[in-house]
Chains A and B, each alone.
Chain A
Amino acid sequence: MKLFDKDVDRKLVEYSVVHHKKITIVMLIVTAILACFIPKVRVDTDPENMLSSDEPVRVYHHKMKKEFTIYDLVVLGLVNETDPHGVYNPKTLKKVYDLTQFVKSLNWKENGKEVGVVGPEVMAPSEVDHVSNIGMGTISFEWLVKTPPKTQEEADEFKIKAKSNPLLLDTVFSRDDKAVAIYIPLTSKDVGYRVYKQINKYIKDNYSGAQEKFYLAGLPIAEDTFGVEMFLQMVISAPMAMLVVFILMILFFKKIILVISPMIVAIISIICTMGLLIAFGYPIHIMTSMIPIFLMPIAVVDSIHILSEFFDRYSPEKGRRAVIVEVMHELFVPMLYTSLTSAAGFASLALTPIPPVQVFGLFVAVGIMIAWICTVTFVPAYVMMIREKSLDDFGDSTGKISRENPMARSLHWLGRFVFRYAKPIIVASVLVSIVSVIGITKINVNDNPVRWFTLSHPIRIADIELNKHFGGTYMSYLVLDQKQEKVDLPTYAQNLSKDFEAQIPKWKEKGYVNVDKVASQMETLFLKLSKTASSKSELLNAIFDEAYERSFKADSGDEVETWDVVGEYFGLKDEALKPFKQPDNLNYISKMQKYLLDSGLVGKSNSLSDIVKKVYQELIDGKQSNYRIPNSSRAVAQCLMQYQSGHKPYDLWHFVTNDFKHANIWLQLKSGDNKDMRKVIAVVNEFIKKNPLPNNLELHWAGLTYINVVWQEKMVFGMLQSFIGSFLVVFVMMVLLFRSVGWGLLCMAPLTITILLIYGATGFIGKDYDMPTAVLSSLTLGMAVDFAIHFIQRVRANHVGNSSWRGTNKIMFGEPARAISRNVIVIAVGFLPLLTAGLVPYKTVGIMLCCIMALSGSITLILLPAMVKVWRHKLFCQCKSVRCASCSFIMCSVVSLSTVVIIVLCIEQYIKSGLSNLLLIAAVFSLVLLIGCYLFTRRKRCRDLPKTKESNEV
């Protein structure tokens, strides 16, 4: 039951040392081949892709976008704070007009398709109708702006018209008169940046020094611009971090020629990983763009350990070959395990139900293993290629430098401190953990692509300014759908024909002629048609059309009227099936809109009800008291027919579908933060609770702001799941590596506290838990466990020869502590240049990496020795041999149970039905395993083992 051949490491290193040229050449060729794929890179900055394309919410969103011909919107705002008339002056209005004309023309052909701005759908003062009742029963339809006002009087007149339309107030025109907005629909989000740039250029070319301020906001711009700037960051930040790491290493190891090797390892693993990623056809997403930044510290960590050890042991007398073989032998197992655990930490991200995060995790894991292979083969080979002469003044085998070095001295002091205050340190750690847990409960899960930009970025400024003046630049759509219902047409037809018969006397009473003749013809036909029709609507339409047709063959003009009224009966029954022609439903929508507006969370909403109310008001007399939904569905239909008699009849279909079975309420939100969107959802649910939905309707959400909420919620739970998974995987690996549950638990202590502290602090500071923050938990796990492994491996190696812990403690705070400290400093400081980035996620990663490294390093150095000291009797008394370990019931059960949990976590997301079933199976399985462990550890060979385990060495 050997985990691997003891001699593998020695053979591998020997091979690398002997065939150093061959190894280098092979490595370079592989890298070059993979590098060839990099130019084929595709970028994807669409947060929508955080969800897989068949995710129901996405499918619905796209279906709804198509049904209501809705496009992703960009908002261009003009703000005039200096003119006493605000934007209502001829100069500003001319600019609005010209900009609108320019924006409408912003489209071009790409792969045979028209892309860019959807010209006819632009919403601006010159693109909307002004409907008004001008008195004496006269109604007027005209463009709100046909030609921009030329004088201030005209501008004043325009202002009255502009502000009279509730549909436009807070959307196109601000309440404070200082701003006007143009809504620019895009064919797709990925043209956002190009449109953004062209509009900005136009503004710069034509209006530099103008008194108006111009702002462009909206998620499509933010998302697409982020993609462009992300690339810049990748090109600037990653090399900058690399440079700092390089300089720090030179400071530590003094030899440029030697320090180059970790850099080569880092570069090669990054190139290979990115090459592979692109070769597999994955696009660069916001997450995957961070692969180089994540790989860099992990890739150099192992090399730093080697160099550190090499530096401390090298002397010209021993020679580089002997020293490197010795160092590699000592570090081989810890390096393998640290790489495996880090890789497992990242690979566990595959458990998150978010495709880009899965890809990110898996490829970082691959990158870590590439870095490991490079480290164990290339670094020794590289050392062999350095001329012995150039290492003359290298090394510290005498320990002189270490003693004089302030870092060495403070580490020794720390060693003494930890030894003396072991128990208080443990108590303090527990207290800190408890406080951190409180912090974690305060964590604010939130993200907003616009917040990926720093406060000084034009996109952020635009976002803030425009949301000050308007209802909001974040769009979300509340859709009411008629429920699908099963119809039994013959029964329906029977019932309807009874109702129909009841009408006959009424028609006769009203004086229609030949009612009996017409009605009986119609009824026969109706029942006949009901056998073949496929829906109520089809049936009613067919009979209505037939009545119309027959009316042309009527015996007399009077009979025509009978045909008309009888046909109309069926036609109106069909119209009654359409929920959004019914005044009750329209009033319900209005009520909901008002409730949302009053909550203060929604800045503005527009719906079919608003259109009907406005048209009705103007048709009647233009008075405010008639701004309401008319009482009959026929009146609603006739209002809508009038609305469609304007310049833009198609605008109606943004709010209702052609069949009047689906209605869309367009919500404008001032904030795109997921937490605010969640509040809006909560308010809607609250409203529905107080005012139940009409019984044939159901409610759905769509829009980018909503989609962001859905994936965020998935992310939080997914990350937790993946973290528990990786935690257990690492734990099982540690138990197996050290063949002891105690050591395994110990190894998990520093990373547990680091993570608690990091996220506790996140909670206390109020920093939003967004995607980069979430993903960093995997990195924390990988890095913190690295230090612990190195530390514990050394403790166990060193303690054999030393009977007192005081001695071991001293050794540990010598070279091993220095290696860990060097690592901490190199990576922590190395990533501070990320703070200069213009994009917030990069800043977050920079600052958090720095904290994670510093914390996990120092917690390893402080807490681990303290814990070992306190529990050394228990820890060292366990058996070390493989055979002995396989006989430990505790170890067997811990490993088995952890494995069951890992498996449950893995398959949980693929199982659609019954989580409880899965848990039941897992419980049964666990019981079987426990019994198995019991029998296994009581087998004959184990009983033969001496009762007293290995001797107490303390």
Chain B
Amino acid sequence: MKKTILTITIFILTGISLGADSAKLSVAQIVNKANIAAYYQGRDAKARVHMEIVSDSGAKKVRDFIILRKTIVDGGDQKFYVYFNSPADIRRMVFMVHKHVGEDNQDDRWLYLPSMDLVNRIAAGDKRTSFVGSDYFYEDVSGRDLFEDTHKLVSENDKYYIIRNTPKKPSDVEFKYYDLSIDKKTFLPMKIFFYDKKNVLYRKIEVLKVGIIQGHPTALYVLVTNLAAKSKTRMVFSGVKYDIGLPDIFTERYLRVPPRKYLR
């Protein structure tokens, strides 16, 4: 019996490695490349985001913000600065992250509320909460740490590697696992499907449009669907620029005084 399983396993593994073009890539390599493609293009980057949250009843809410990103260590630490423009009454609100990669390394997060001139640190802990009322999570903004999951190649076809990611600490998250469909050419994760404890698909993130910006394949239109709450969030990226030479504006001082120059 044991032998049969072993044989099958070997067969599957070899089958994959034989069938694929990039036969040499291990699961870890694929996942790393995808992580780089999604979050680490260029030394730094800037994008305008137009976000629409559409509820089951069709009611629509809009958010506009500008996102600035600077990589400190490739595939490692990063800094994010999210500046809100609309709706008018949350204009100048800022969300900032210092992302720290590695096991037991917690991100630092800040929030600036201009109406109260208040800078709040957000306690380390659950990052899987809604990003400003959308179906996107805070964790989706800065990216989920690769260390938090185990990765397994479950299948692949001409276009995608399908990687199953299972959390190491299941009690920390609401999903049982999620499947990433990684584009074989660009290594951008094109689909992320989340499954609940009963193996039911309840949330998905899909990249619906990709553009090449300064040579980097970049997601320009992302759709997040919350199947349980029947809510959708669309995000359209525009004005994407890489390597703009961002100085270190990721400090508390710049929360109150936004770096205008880099926000246009």
Q: Which residues of A contact B (CB under 8 A)?
A: 66-67, 69, 105, 119-120, 129, 134, 136-143, 146-147, 544-545, 548, 551-552, 554, 557-558, 560-561, 564, 567-568, 570-572, 574-575, 581, 619-620, 630, 632-635, 637-638, 641-642, 644-650, 652-653, 657-659
Contact = CB atoms under 8 A, between A and B. Distances in A.
Contact of A641 (B118, B128, B132): B132
B115 A560 contact: no
Contact of B89 (A141, A564, A620, A634): A634
Contact of B88 (A66, A568, A658): A568
B94 to A, nearest CB: 11
Contact of A557 (B56, B59, B115, B264): B264
Contact of B130 (A140, A633, A647): A647
B239 A552 contact: yes
Given A574-B88, A645-B133, A650-B231, A635 B116 contact: yes
A119 B264 contact: no
- Among B61, B118, B123, B172, find the residue whose CB has the most chain A CB atoms closer than 10 A: B123
Contact of B122 (A138, A574, A635, A653): A138
Contact of A552 (B61, B93, B111, B264): B264
B229 interface: yes
Contacts of A119: 228
A343 B157 CA distance: 77
24 contacts: A67-B57, A105-B198, A134-B123, A137-B119, A139-B122, A140-B123, A141-B125, A142-B125, A552-B239, A557-B261, A560-B260, A571-B91, A619-B113, A619-B116, A630-B116, A633-B89, A634-B89, A637-B89, A638-B113, A644-B132, A645-B129, A645-B130, A649-B134, A659-B59
B120 interface: yes
Q: In terms of DSSP, what is the predominant structure of the interface of chain A?
A: helix
Given A137-B121, A645-B131, A658-B55, A571 B86 contact: yes
Interface of B: 48, 55-57, 59-61, 64, 85-91, 93, 111, 113-116, 118-123, 125-126, 128-134, 138, 171-172, 198, 228-229, 231, 239, 260-261, 263-264
B121 A638 contact: no
A349 to B, nearest CB: 40
Contacts of B261: 557
Given A139-B121, A645-B130, 16 more contacts: A66-B57, A129-B129, A137-B119, A137-B120, A139-B120, A544-B86, A548-B86, A557-B260, A560-B260, A619-B120, A632-B115, A638-B114, A638-B115, A645-B133, A647-B129, A647-B130
B43 to A, nearest CB: 22
A242 to B, nearest CB: 51
Nearest to A659: B59
B137 to A, nearest CB: 10
A647 B198 CA distance: 20
A650 B116 contact: no
Contacts of A554: 264
Contacts of A620: 116, 118
B53 to A, nearest CB: 9
Contact of A637 (B87, B130, B138): B87
A138 B57 CA distance: 35
B92 to A, nearest CB: 9
Given A142-B126, A552-B239, A644-B130, A572 B88 contact: yes
Nearest to A140: B123
- Among A141, A544, A645, find the residue whose CB has the most chain B CB atoms closer than 10 A: A645
A142 B231 CA distance: 22
B83 to A, nearest CB: 11
B88 A544 contact: yes
Contacts of B263: 560
Contacts of A652: 133
A69 B57 contact: yes
A650 B260 contact: no
A581 B89 contact: yes
Nearest to B138: A645
The 3 A-B pairs with the shortest beta carbon distances in the complex, nearest first, are A571-B88, A644-B133, A140-B123
A647 B120 CA distance: 19
A557 B123 CA distance: 34
